[in-house]
A and B are shown apart, each in its own frame.
Chain A
Amino acid sequence: MTVDRRWRITLRTVALGYLALLLVIPIGLVFYRTFEHGVMAVWDSVTTPAAISAFWLTITVTLIAVPLNTIFGVLCALALARGRFRGKPILNAIIDLPFAISPVVIGLALVLVYGRGGWLGDLPFQVIFAVPGIVLATIFVSVPFVVREVTPVLMEIGDEQEQAASTLGANRWQTFWRITLPAIRWGVAYGIVLSVARCIGEFGAVSVVSGKISGETETLTLLVEERFQNFDLAGAYAASALLALIALGTLLAMTKINPRRDDE
């Protein structure tokens, strides 16, 4: 639309002003507040035993959840894009459920299955208020990402090359590794980046099942809340700044992968 200059400047100012007030200035302020007492204070705050334990728990949980959901995501995307079966709309709806359900309800759901008096409450190891519960919650919330990124790519590339490969004698395994996977790799990568961000940042579901035992079942996001509730504002800002840096890294990865994804 060839809007005259005055209007264009007005709209631009409103849009950028909205983004500045909602996103940029608050996040900038948290970084400022974090570092206003110097870098060493921040370093001390993110290297306390509780913080280091929270950091490694977050990384461990992510390293379990993301690979599992990546394998599931690729298989499920293959089924959705290549398979012909009834109930495809139902499968599609189920995959989107974790996006539509409150993280608190997800945590509650796990408590009702694995908690005291739950359907599977008598397992030989503890799930709720322990690491397995955190892992299950994290897997739940990050289920859809890889599927949702890979399925459209598979639809787009079609299966002609795969059929050609199998006509030439390749078995399904070879076809997958040599033809399908190279074609979808940037879609998979994008899905993995989104999953990692979600796994590291998950709060609600994890906060229900973790029990928040400092140094044992406390993830980074839970550490932020604990420090805030204990009036350790500087500590909460420091842990937040660490998480925000991870988020900015995620954004950077997204902008690097996006153009390649479009080229496929």
Chain B
Amino acid sequence: MTTAALTLRRPGGRPGALGLGISTLWLSFIVLLPLAAVVVRSTDGGWDAFWDVVTSRQSIAALRFTLEVSLACTVINAVSGTLIAWVLVRDRFRGKSIVNALIDLPFALPTIVAGLTLLALYGPTSPVGINVAFTQAAVLMALLFVTLPFVIRSVQPVLIELDKEMEEAALSLGAGNRTVFLRVILPNLVPAILSGAALAFARAVGEFGSIILLSGNIPFKTQVASVFIFKQIESDNPIGAAAISVVLMAISLIVLIGIRGLGRWGARHDR
């Protein structure tokens, strides 16, 4: 690599050309080739087989529940995330920096451990007598756990940067707390809330590790798409699994494009 780097001197070679070449190769081999295999091989059994798998009652139920529970998780996150971000930025209390550091814990903690910890408190062996294991509520709880940081970490910096003068002006003109929040603070936060919520949604749609111990995988009830795909692979039906995956990936892709669109929209409307 040294000689290659040396020959690419700045005046002559384009900056980043070597990096671009290696990056493209790496991404193609590691990411694109396997994903292409999923898309291409999902129709190995023909279009009819693809259609049959995707429109089977069980996969529709799994996909539908995945969408519904992810949307619920996203909405709750948008509210609770904004609230927690507000408390972390504007409130003062002892131990705030520790709480702030803890927010990232769901990113650092393995998902299987997340599922196990929730099961310890809210499962059959719960010391407080709450048992939600193998219910839809358990799936929602797992999703809320793993997606906790997204909205908070997206709203926090915007809230820190937010001009306090605007709020003070509104207050001095006689606006109440409610009005200030709804008409001054919230409009400034909306782009950040939306982009954080979109990330949380994309994560929730594909979540697997934290759900597998909690959901019980009951078809038509608590079965989510990712666990359904996993069961298809286990029962030696990778092509059927690929078909459902393609649908799941299409949903993720739409969300990703949505995030980029939101970012641009937010940038245009930036104060």
Residues in B whose Cβ lies below 8 Å from that of A139 = 30
- Asked if A100 and B252 sit within 8 Å, CB to CB, the answer is yes
Contact B31 A112 (CB under 8 A): no
How far does the alpha carbon of A220 sit from the alpha carbon of B207 in the complex, in Å? 19
Q: What residue in chain B is nearest A147 (Cβ atoms)? A: B23
Q: Is the interface of B mostly helix, strand, loop or mixed?
A: helix
Report Cα–Cα, A99/B117, bound state, in Å. Answer: 23
Contact pick for B238, options A8, A76, A84, A115, CB 8 Å: A115
Is residue B111 within 8 Å, beta carbon to beta carbon, of the partner chain? yes
Q: Does A113 contact B (CB under 8 A)?
A: yes
* A29-B116 Cα distance, complex, nearest whole Å: 11
B82 CB to nearest A CB, Å: 10
Evaluate contact between A79 and B19: CB separation under 8 angstroms: yes
Give every chain A residue within 8 A of B168 (Cβ-Cβ): 2
Task: Tell me which residues from 74 to 115 in chain B have a Cβ below 8 Å from any Cβ of chain A.
Answer: 80, 83-84, 86-88, 90-91, 93, 97, 99, 101-113
Residues of chain A lying within 8 A (CB to CB) of residue B255 = 100
Contact between chains at B117 and A27 (CB < 8 Å): yes
Q: Are A83's CB and B141's CB within 8 A?
A: no
Measured CB to CB, the closest approach of chain A to B170, in angstroms, equals 9
Count the A residues whose beta carbon is within 8 Å of the partner chain — how many? Answer: 100
User: Which residue of B26, B227, B242, B260 has the most chain A CB atoms within 10 A of its CB atom?
Assistant: B26
Which residue of chain A lies nearest to B100 when distances are taken between CB atoms in the complex?
Answer: A255
Given A100-B252, A225-B112: A108 in contact with B226 (beta carbons within 8 A):
no
Interface stretch of the complex, out of A15-23, A47-55, A181-189: A15-23
- Determine the distance from Cα of A175 to Cα of B167 in the docked complex, in whole angstroms: 47
Nearest B residue to A229 via CB reads B213
Query: Do B23 and A75 have beta carbons less than 8 Å apart?
Result: yes
Interface residues on B, range: 35 or more
B50 close to A (CB within 8 Å): no
Choose from B91, B102, B108, B202 the contact partner of A100 (Cβ within 8 Å). Answer: B202
In the complex, the answer to whether A108 meets B107 with C-beta atoms within 8 Å is no
CB pair A1–B127 under 8 Å, yes or no, is no
Q: In the assembly, what is the distance between CA of A81 and CA of B97, in Å?
A: 32
Q: In whole angstroms, how far apart are the Cα atoms of A82 and B248 in the complex?
A: 34
User: How far apart are B77's CB and chain A's nearest CB, in angstroms?
Assistant: 11
A91 touches B248 (CB 8 A): no
Contact present for B104 and A82 (CB under 8 Å): no
- Some 8 contacts from A to B, beta carbons below 8 A apart, are A1-B185, A15-B80, A18-B80, A100-B206, A107-B233, A108-B245, A236-B116, A240-B112
Binding site for B on A (CB under 8 A): 1-4, 7-8, 11-12, 14-16, 18-19, 22-27, 29-30, 33, 72, 74-85, 89, 91, 93-113, 115, 118-119, 136, 139-140, 143, 159, 162-163, 166, 171-173, 175-176, 194, 197, 200-204, 207-208, 220-221, 224-225, 228, 233, 236-237, 240, 243-244, 247-248, 250-251, 254-255
